[in-house]
Protein backbone atom coordinates (compact mmCIF):
# COMPACT_ATOMS: atom_id res chain seq x y z
CA UNK A 1 0.00 0.00 0.00
CA UNK A 2 2.86 2.39 0.80
CA UNK A 3 4.47 1.92 -2.58
CA UNK A 4 1.17 2.59 -4.38
CA UNK A 5 0.50 5.70 -2.27
CA UNK A 6 4.00 7.05 -2.80
CA UNK A 7 3.73 6.47 -6.55
CA UNK A 8 0.39 8.30 -6.85
CA UNK A 9 1.56 11.28 -4.82
CA UNK A 10 4.81 11.44 -6.77
CA UNK A 11 2.89 11.56 -10.07
CA UNK A 12 0.70 14.44 -8.83
CA UNK A 13 3.70 16.40 -7.54
CA UNK A 14 5.65 15.91 -10.76
CA UNK A 15 2.69 17.12 -12.81
CA UNK A 16 2.40 20.20 -10.59
CA UNK A 17 6.10 21.10 -10.93
CA UNK A 18 5.93 20.52 -14.67
CA UNK A 19 2.95 22.85 -14.98
CA UNK A 20 4.70 25.59 -12.99
CA UNK A 21 7.75 25.30 -15.24
CA UNK A 22 5.66 25.61 -18.39
CA UNK A 23 3.77 28.49 -16.87
CA UNK A 24 6.94 30.58 -16.54
CA UNK A 25 7.43 30.37 -20.30
CA UNK A 26 3.91 31.72 -20.93
CA UNK A 27 3.47 34.63 -18.53
CA UNK A 28 0.47 36.03 -20.35
CA UNK A 29 -2.13 33.36 -19.51
CA UNK A 30 -5.05 34.13 -17.24
CA UNK A 31 -7.59 31.42 -16.39
CA UNK A 32 -8.34 29.39 -19.52
CA UNK A 33 -7.48 31.83 -22.23
CA UNK A 34 -5.00 31.91 -25.05
CA UNK A 35 -1.53 33.45 -25.00
CA UNK A 36 -2.64 36.85 -26.33
CA UNK A 37 -1.47 39.99 -24.46
CA UNK A 38 -3.14 40.79 -21.14
CA UNK A 39 -4.34 44.17 -22.47
CA UNK A 40 -6.46 42.41 -25.09
CA UNK A 41 -7.79 40.02 -22.45
CA UNK A 42 -8.94 42.94 -20.34
CA UNK A 43 -10.81 44.34 -23.32
CA UNK A 44 -12.68 41.06 -23.68
CA UNK A 45 -13.76 40.83 -20.03
CA UNK A 46 -16.90 42.82 -20.74
CA UNK A 47 -18.16 40.55 -23.48
CA UNK A 48 -20.75 38.79 -21.29
CA UNK A 49 -21.38 35.06 -21.10
CA UNK A 50 -18.86 32.54 -22.46
CA UNK A 51 -19.43 28.75 -22.39
CA UNK A 52 -16.82 26.62 -20.63
CA UNK A 53 -16.19 23.00 -19.68
CA UNK A 54 -14.33 21.48 -16.75
CA UNK A 55 -13.03 17.93 -16.40
CA UNK A 56 -11.75 17.10 -12.91
CA UNK A 57 -9.85 13.96 -11.89
CA UNK A 58 -9.11 13.62 -8.17
CA UNK A 59 -7.69 11.11 -5.71
CA UNK A 60 -9.40 11.10 -2.33
CA UNK A 61 -7.22 10.54 0.75
CA UNK A 62 -7.75 9.70 4.41
CA UNK A 63 -5.66 9.43 7.54
CA UNK A 64 -3.59 6.28 7.91
CA UNK A 65 -5.03 4.41 10.93
CA UNK A 66 -1.85 2.37 11.31
CA UNK A 67 0.54 5.34 11.26
CA UNK A 68 4.28 4.73 11.13
CA UNK A 69 5.27 1.08 10.93
CA UNK A 70 8.23 1.62 13.25
CA UNK A 71 10.97 1.25 10.66
CA UNK A 72 12.42 4.64 11.61
CA UNK A 73 11.66 6.29 8.26
CA UNK A 74 8.82 8.76 7.90
CA UNK A 75 6.91 8.68 4.65
CA UNK A 76 3.86 10.52 3.39
CA UNK A 77 1.89 7.26 3.51
CA UNK A 78 2.51 7.11 7.27
CA UNK A 79 0.03 9.96 7.60
CA UNK A 80 -2.37 9.79 4.64
CA UNK A 81 -3.25 7.02 2.18
CA UNK A 82 -5.35 6.89 -1.03
CA UNK A 83 -9.02 6.11 -0.50
CA UNK A 84 -10.59 6.36 -3.94
CA UNK A 85 -10.88 8.15 -7.26
CA UNK A 86 -13.23 10.84 -8.54
CA UNK A 87 -14.04 11.88 -12.09
CA UNK A 88 -16.34 14.85 -12.75
CA UNK A 89 -17.41 16.80 -15.83
CA UNK A 90 -19.24 20.11 -16.01
CA UNK A 91 -20.57 22.49 -18.63
CA UNK A 92 -21.63 26.06 -17.99
CA UNK A 93 -21.19 29.75 -18.65
CA UNK A 94 -18.66 32.25 -17.34
CA UNK A 95 -19.73 35.88 -17.05
CA UNK A 96 -17.06 38.53 -17.72
CA UNK A 97 -14.30 35.98 -17.03
CA UNK A 98 -14.86 35.85 -13.26
CA UNK A 99 -18.29 34.48 -12.32
CA UNK A 100 -19.66 31.18 -13.61
CA UNK A 101 -22.46 28.67 -13.20
CA UNK A 102 -22.32 25.08 -14.47
CA UNK A 103 -24.17 21.75 -14.42
CA UNK A 104 -21.99 18.83 -13.28
CA UNK A 105 -22.01 15.09 -12.79
CA UNK A 106 -19.45 12.37 -12.15
CA UNK A 107 -18.51 9.18 -10.36
CA UNK A 108 -16.90 8.94 -6.90
CA UNK A 109 -15.44 5.84 -5.26
CA UNK A 110 -14.39 5.22 -1.66
CA UNK A 111 -12.66 2.05 -0.53
CA UNK A 112 -13.06 2.76 3.19
CA UNK A 113 -16.83 3.27 2.87
CA UNK A 114 -17.18 0.64 0.10
CA UNK A 115 -19.07 3.26 -1.84
CA UNK A 116 -19.65 4.17 -5.48
CA UNK A 117 -21.70 7.34 -5.87
CA UNK A 118 -22.98 9.42 -8.78
CA UNK A 119 -23.51 13.09 -7.89
CA UNK A 120 -25.52 15.53 -10.00
CA UNK A 121 -25.11 19.16 -8.98
CA UNK A 122 -24.91 22.82 -9.93
CA UNK A 123 -21.65 24.64 -9.25
CA UNK A 124 -20.93 28.33 -8.73
CA UNK A 125 -17.45 29.45 -9.87
CA UNK A 126 -15.39 32.50 -8.94
CA UNK A 127 -12.03 33.32 -10.53
CA UNK A 128 -9.50 35.87 -9.30
CA UNK A 129 -6.14 36.88 -10.76
CA UNK A 130 -3.55 35.72 -8.24
CA UNK A 131 -0.33 36.64 -10.05
CA UNK A 132 0.60 37.92 -13.49
CA UNK A 133 0.47 34.43 -14.94
CA UNK A 134 -2.04 32.45 -12.85
CA UNK A 135 -5.50 32.59 -11.32
CA UNK A 136 -7.29 31.20 -8.28
CA UNK A 137 -10.60 29.38 -8.71
CA UNK A 138 -13.10 28.98 -5.87
CA UNK A 139 -16.10 26.73 -6.51
CA UNK A 140 -19.11 25.61 -4.48
CA UNK A 141 -21.60 22.99 -5.65
CA UNK A 142 -24.97 21.75 -4.41
CA UNK A 143 -27.08 18.89 -5.71
CA UNK A 144 -27.98 15.26 -5.09
CA UNK A 145 -25.86 12.11 -4.87
CA UNK A 146 -26.99 8.55 -5.61
CA UNK A 147 -25.26 5.48 -4.16
CA UNK A 148 -24.82 2.70 -6.73
CA UNK A 149 -25.82 -0.80 -5.63
CA UNK A 150 -27.35 0.44 -2.35
CA UNK A 151 -31.03 0.44 -3.25
CA UNK A 152 -32.59 3.90 -2.98
CA UNK A 153 -29.80 5.33 -0.81
CA UNK A 154 -29.21 8.97 -1.78
CA UNK A 155 -28.78 12.37 -0.21
CA UNK A 156 -27.90 16.03 -0.62
CA UNK A 157 -24.49 16.48 -2.22
CA UNK A 158 -22.07 19.32 -1.52
CA UNK A 159 -18.78 20.04 -3.32
CA UNK A 160 -16.23 22.71 -2.35
CA UNK A 161 -13.12 23.27 -4.45
CA UNK A 162 -10.12 25.59 -4.36
CA UNK A 163 -7.89 25.53 -7.43
CA UNK A 164 -4.81 27.21 -8.84
CA UNK A 165 -4.49 27.58 -12.62
CA UNK A 166 -0.88 26.70 -13.51
CA UNK A 167 -1.10 26.62 -17.30
CA UNK A 168 -3.34 27.61 -20.17
CA UNK A 169 -5.93 24.98 -19.30
CA UNK A 170 -4.70 23.06 -16.24
CA UNK A 171 -5.50 23.65 -12.55
CA UNK A 172 -4.50 21.90 -9.33
CA UNK A 173 -7.49 21.20 -7.05
CA UNK A 174 -8.16 20.70 -3.37
CA UNK A 175 -11.70 19.36 -2.90
CA UNK A 176 -14.08 18.57 -0.05
CA UNK A 177 -17.19 16.47 -0.81
CA UNK A 178 -20.19 15.72 1.44
CA UNK A 179 -22.75 13.09 0.39
CA UNK A 180 -25.70 13.56 2.74
CA UNK A 181 -25.94 9.87 3.62
CA UNK A 182 -23.95 7.14 5.30
CA UNK A 183 -24.07 3.61 3.86
CA UNK A 184 -23.03 1.83 7.08
CA UNK A 185 -23.21 3.98 10.23
CA UNK A 186 -26.77 4.85 11.23
CA UNK A 187 -25.66 7.30 13.92
CA UNK A 188 -23.79 9.48 11.41
CA UNK A 189 -25.85 11.48 8.95
CA UNK A 190 -23.32 11.76 6.14
CA UNK A 191 -19.96 10.71 4.81
CA UNK A 192 -17.43 12.97 3.17
CA UNK A 193 -13.91 13.04 1.81
CA UNK A 194 -10.95 15.23 1.04
CA UNK A 195 -9.27 14.92 -2.35
CA UNK A 196 -6.49 16.39 -4.46
CA UNK A 197 -6.25 16.35 -8.23
CA UNK A 198 -6.29 18.31 -11.46
CA UNK A 199 -8.86 20.03 -13.67
CA UNK A 200 -8.81 20.51 -17.42
CA UNK A 201 -10.52 23.81 -18.18
CA UNK A 202 -11.65 25.17 -21.52
CA UNK A 203 -13.25 28.44 -22.54
CA UNK A 204 -15.06 28.59 -25.89
CA UNK A 205 -14.07 31.96 -27.31
CA UNK A 206 -16.63 33.82 -29.37
> Domains along the chain?
2-203 (2.40.160.20)
Tens-digit pLDDT string for the chain (206 aa): 445 445 555 545 445 444 444 444 444 434 444 444 444 455 545 568 899 999 999 999 987 766 665 565 666 666 788 899 999 999 999 998 889 999 999 999 998 888 899 999 999 999 988 766 788 999 999 999 999 988 888 999 999 999 998 877 899 999 999 998 887 765 556 788 999 999 999 988 76
- Give the predicted TM-score (pTM) of the model: 0.74
Strands 134-147 and 49-63 turn out to be unpaired
Query: CA angle 154-159-160, nearest 5°?
Result: 160
Q: Are 29 and 80 in contact (CB under 8 A)?
A: no
Q: Are 120 and 143 in contact (CB under 8 A)?
A: yes
Beta bridge pairs of residue 143: 121, 157
Amino acid sequence: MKSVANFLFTVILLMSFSCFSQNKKKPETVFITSSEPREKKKEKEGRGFIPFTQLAINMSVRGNPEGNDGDGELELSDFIIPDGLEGHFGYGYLYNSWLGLSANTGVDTSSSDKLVAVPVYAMLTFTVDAFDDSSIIAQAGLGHSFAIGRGNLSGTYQKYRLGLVVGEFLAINLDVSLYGFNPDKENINQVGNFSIGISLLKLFEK
